[in-house]
Amino acid sequence: MKTPAALVADIQRRLGNQWHSHLAGEGDAFPHAFPLGRAAAADLRSDYAVVHARTVEWQDWAKAHGVDLRYETRVAKGGTRQVLPTHAHVVDIDHAAAIVGHDWPARLQRGQQRLQVLRARQLTDLGKVLRLVDKYSAVDFELLLVVADWYLEDPLRAGLGVTPRQVPIPGVHAKWLQAHRAGVQALTGLTELGILPAHPPRIHFTYLDPAYRSTGGRLHDSATVGDQFTPAYLPEVVVISENKDTAIHLPVLEGGISVEGVGKGGKTPAAFPWLRDAPVVVYWGDIDSDGYEILNGYRADFDRDIDSILMGPATYDQYSTFGTSYDQHGKLLTPGTPKTLDRLRDDERTMYERVLDPDHADHRRIEQERIPLQVAVDAVRRISEGLRPSR
């Protein structure tokens, strides 16, 4: 039999998946009877006291939340017949929101208000549009209406052929359309907004080879996806660093190039065969949840088991005194549920789960900048020489 906490999670899941279609009249998420699970017959015969205690817990919870329980009669120890709850009946979507709490009541109220505005526009897929604008602030929702009307006033505006920042809409700041294009398309029905495609992504990197650097050639370089480009030399070793300063200041390394990280995933650097297919590719990131998720993404995008350095338990233990419990914005790092990262090695997974563990009492992040750069270069050299990398 489930616990009340598990039921609340079920209600929240149903809300999250169906609230928009329910409000739009495109489905009926509520009322709904949620199953509570069924006590095993063996438990009823051998340990009915535990089952009875859970029944009382359900009755107390249901009374506190205005929920009706449905029951069935089961045979318990000694052949006695006992009445046990089987389902919790949630009468409507507002009832569900009140049970789940958090921001759900306010979220539904905001959704109802926006739904009235959207209905007047006679949109198709109303529930889908409602979900799309759910996270818009009040200001952004008003701007969405202004921008949509601007396009609808003159269909030729959809053929301007300008960047998002150049669209001449009064009162709309330069970056707004770039971030809210999908909403405008949903409200206007336009497949194109006359906006030029985003500029192709780039990588920035630093040449580390001492022989090349002695020639006085350029130290820092960049390459744009889709351009014809050849680096000053084909690297034998590529070091991808999560931190730009680390990549720029990495000490010399024979045949090496250090690449500045581009956030989660590695599709941009993986677009360059000379980089992706280098004999040795190493990733170095922070010891925190983001670092391991980024590493996993790089391995997926590169489609190879690239090495990591200085991201294992031994490094954490050695440098833990330099760790932090806050992110770059001063926000406390909190526990979390590990994601399914299928490309982490055992020691990496151990640290990933450790920094997310609610019982972890030490720092949840060690930034790579706290580790001496020469230590990193030495770790890379070990990999290049076919030795076990430093963890």
Query: Are 234 and 205 within 8 A, CB to CB?
Result: no
Q: Which one-letter amino acid corresponds to residue 366? A: I
Q: What is the dihedral of CA 169, 174, 180, 181, to 10 degrees?
A: 70
From 166, 115, 121, 114, select the one nearest 148 (Cα to Cα). Answer: 121
Whether 257 and 247 have beta carbons less than 8 Å apart is answered as no
pLDDT reported for residue 262? 83
What integer pLDDT is reported at residue 389 of this predicted model?
67
Please say whether the beta carbons of 24 and 130 come within 8 A.
yes
Residue 44 is predicted with a pLDDT of 82
Sign of CA dihedral 185, 189, 195, 197: positive
Please report the pLDDT score of residue 388 as a whole number.
67
What three-state secondary structure class fits 7?
helix
Which residue is it, tokens 């906006």?
195
pLDDT of residue 306: 94
- Using CA atoms, how far apart are residues 34 and 61, in angstroms rounded to an integer? 14
DSSP state of 147: H
How many Å is the maximal CA-CA distance in the chain? 92
Q: How far is CA 197 from the centre of its chain?
A: 25
**pLDDT at residue 31, rounded to an integer:** 96
Q: Across-strand partners of 365? A: 324
Buried b / exposed e over 28-41, threshold 16 CB at 10 Å, is ebbebebebeebee
358: preceding bond cis by omega (within 30 degrees)? no
What is the per-residue DSSP string for 227-266? S----SS--SEEEEESSHHHHHHPPP-TTEEEEE--SSS-
* β-strand partners of 206: 220, 258
Contacts of 365 (CB under 8 A, 6+ apart): 286, 287, 288, 323, 324, 325, 326, 327, 333, 355
DSSP state of 219: S
Residue 368 and residue 243 in contact, taking contact as beta carbons nearer than 8 Å: yes
- Nearby residues of 34 by Cβ (< 8 Å), 6 or more positions away: 7, 10, 11, 87, 88, 89, 90
Neighbour-count burial of 232, counting CB atoms closer than 10 A to its CB (0-12 exposed, 13-18 middle, 19+ buried): middle
Residue type, 219: L
Tell me the whole-structure pTM to 2 decimals: 0.62
- Measuring CA to CA, which residue among 156, 164, 247, 241 is closest to residue 208? 247
Render each residue's pLDDT in the chain as its tens digit; 391 residues.
889 999 999 999 999 999 999 999 999 999 999 999 988 888 787 878 888 888 999 999 999 999 999 999 988 877 888 889 999 999 999 999 999 999 999 999 999 999 999 999 989 899 999 999 999 999 999 999 999 999 999 878 887 888 877 888 888 887 888 889 899 999 999 888 888 777 889 999 999 999 999 999 999 999 999 999 999 999 999 999 999 999 999 999 999 999 999 878 799 999 999 999 999 999 999 999 999 999 999 999 999 989 999 999 999 999 999 999 998 888 899 999 999 999 999 999 999 999 999 999 999 999 999 999 999 999 999 999 987 667 7
Q: Where exactly are the structural domains of the chain?
A: 4-102, 105-188, 202-384
Q: By C-alpha distance, which of 63, 61, 15, 11 is closest to 33?
A: 11
